[in-house]
Amino acid sequence: MNKKIMLVDDAAFMRMMIKDTLKKNGFEDIVEAANGQEAVAAYEEHHPDLVIMDITMPVMDGLQALQAIKAADPNATVVMCSAMGQENMVLDALKLGAQDFIVKPFKADRIMKTVSTVLGQ
């Protein structure tokens, strides 16, 4: 697949888990960031087709990063990740322009269904 995907999560093992799922499904061009601040900078540098971003992170959280990315590129495609019990944050993310959300813990088929849907594949 020639789509570029950026994974944003402060937990390296979460990024690795999603990255493995994406690679098994043909996605090779993957950018990573460990917090919202890194995500905003990486978005500006790499212009990924899709951002999969955690909500709760240090330095700059996912909602702040979502706002900054959408301000820089209103057409950015962003899917938020949240743990159970963060429904209010998910609703905030959707209001701020996120296309969808994935609930942790992740299931590989849910990740791929969401990726396929938002990328129109």
Domain locations along the chain: 4-108
Averaged pLDDT, 64-78: 96
pLDDT in tens, 14-62: 999 999 999 999 999 999 999 999 999 999 999 999 999 999 889 999 9
Residue 92 has pLDDT above 70, yes or no: yes
pLDDT band at 103 (very low <50, low <70, confident <90, very high): confident
Averaged pLDDT, 61-66: 95
pLDDT value of position 85: 65
DSSP percent split of the chain into helix, strand, coil, nearest 5: 45, 20, 30
Please tell me the distance from the alpha carbon of residue 69 to that of residue 74, in angstroms, as a whole number: 8
Scanning 25-107, the segments in alpha helix (DSSP H) are: 36-46, 62-72, 87-95
CATH number of 4-108: 3.40.50.2300
